[in-house]
């Protein structure tokens, strides 16, 4: 949960972070 708190401090929405992380996760699994 500390990660989400840091993101909130930076002003970055949790949704944006999760969505941007999806492609990386999928690419990592495919590769």
Model pTM? 0.29
Q: Which domain holds residue 19?
A: 1-31
In sequence order, what are the residues at sequence separation of 6 or more whose Cβ sits closer than 8 angstroms to the Cβ of residue 4? Answer: 14
Q: What is the pLDDT of residues 1-31, one digit of tens each?
A: 455 555 556 666 676 777 777 777 777 776 6
What integer pLDDT is reported at residue 20 of this predicted model?
75
- Tally the domains of the chain: 1
Question: What pLDDT does residue 4 have?
Answer: 54
pLDDT at 11: 65
Residue 20 CB coordination number (10 Å): 10
């Amino acid at each position: 949960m500390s990660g989400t708190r840091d993101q909130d401090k930076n002003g970055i929405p949790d949704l944006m972070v999760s969505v941007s992380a999806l492609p990386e996760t999928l690419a990592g699994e495919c590769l």
